[in-house]
Amino acid sequence: MARPTSAPAPRYRCAAPDGRLDSPVFHRNVEPLLAALTPLLEGRSGTAFEIGSGTGQHIAALRRAFPRLVWQASDPDPVHRKSCDAWSPAASPALDIDAASDWPDRPEVAGLAPFALILSLNVVHIAPWSVAIGLVAGAGRALARGGLLALYGPFREDGAHTGPGNAAFDAQLRAQDPASGLRDTADLRWLAEGAGLAFRALVPMPANNRLMLFERTRLAPGTPGA
């Protein structure tokens, strides 16, 4: 089974016989997340692609909040994809996407691109660094010009943790899997610059989380026409 992208040891409960899962984190952060995204997404149209959709609760809420965007879920875990489809039965089925791969080349992704938004919530700190590399590089190829990459979760900033809770969480993650751990915003900005993405904002969120925003301003190296 593919490694889940939404937690090293997901603490989800079964919410219904149809496969829906419920995440306590969703209930804590969905309203602040929607509030932070509203000034960015209100009035936007096109396709929004989520990497690592987990239970599918976030993307279901985003579909309701921003109906002008067409939302596409993805996750490498079949249990998570089943939950995504159960939470949004009228939407296109969640795609089996490994962000560490050349996912923009997949026909089912290429047929949807270019994207107005690529979103990834609570993923890069619980996955190997190769996932962050592939996610950002892929965004540079798959976003429309002016499209946004939004990363949400806990981060280090200039090599330092933003609070003792994040430091403890980072240590816990690395003890479970040395390939995981909180990523530094400077490293993500460096990846983004190489992918043709300009840093736009680092938005403080509750519980020492951040919403990190990039915009595609130019073609990434290796992109046709670059």
CATH architecture classification, 47-124+135-216: 3-Layer(aba) Sandwich (3.40)
Q: What are the sequence ranges of the domains in the chain?
A: 47-124+135-216
Pick from 142, 141, 124, 122: which is nearest to 133 by CA? Answer: 124
Q: What pTM was estimated for this model as a whole?
A: 0.91
**Residues linked to residue 201 through DSSP beta bridges, in sequence order:** 213
- Report the pLDDT averaged over residues 129-140: 97
Pick from 8, 58, 13, 53: which is nearest to 36 by CA? Answer: 58
**Residues linked to residue 215 through DSSP beta bridges, in sequence order:** 148, 198
Cα 72 to Cα 188: distance, rounded to the nearest angstrom: 24
**Cα dist. 203→148, 163, 170, 213 in Å?**
14, 16, 20, 8
**Residues linked to residue 160 through DSSP beta bridges, in sequence order:** 157
Q: Write the pLDDT tens digit of every residue in 44-66.
A: 999 999 999 999 999 999 999 99
Residue 53's SS3 state is coil
Q: Count other Cβ atoms within 10 Å, centred on residue 13.
A: 11
Q: Count other Cβ atoms within 10 Å, centred on residue 42.
A: 10
Percent of the chain with pLDDT over 70: 92
**Cα dist. 30→27, 70, 127, 137 in Å?**
6, 19, 22, 27
The DSSP 8-state label assigned to residue 127 in this structure reads S
**Residues linked to residue 139 through DSSP beta bridges, in sequence order:** none
Phi/psi-derived region of residue 43, left when phi > 0, alpha when psi is between -120 and 50, beta in every other case: left
Q: Write the pLDDT tens digit of every residue in 83-95.
A: 999 999 999 999 9
Q: Write the pLDDT tens digit of every residue in 175-212.
A: 999 999 999 999 999 999 999 999 999 999 999 999 99
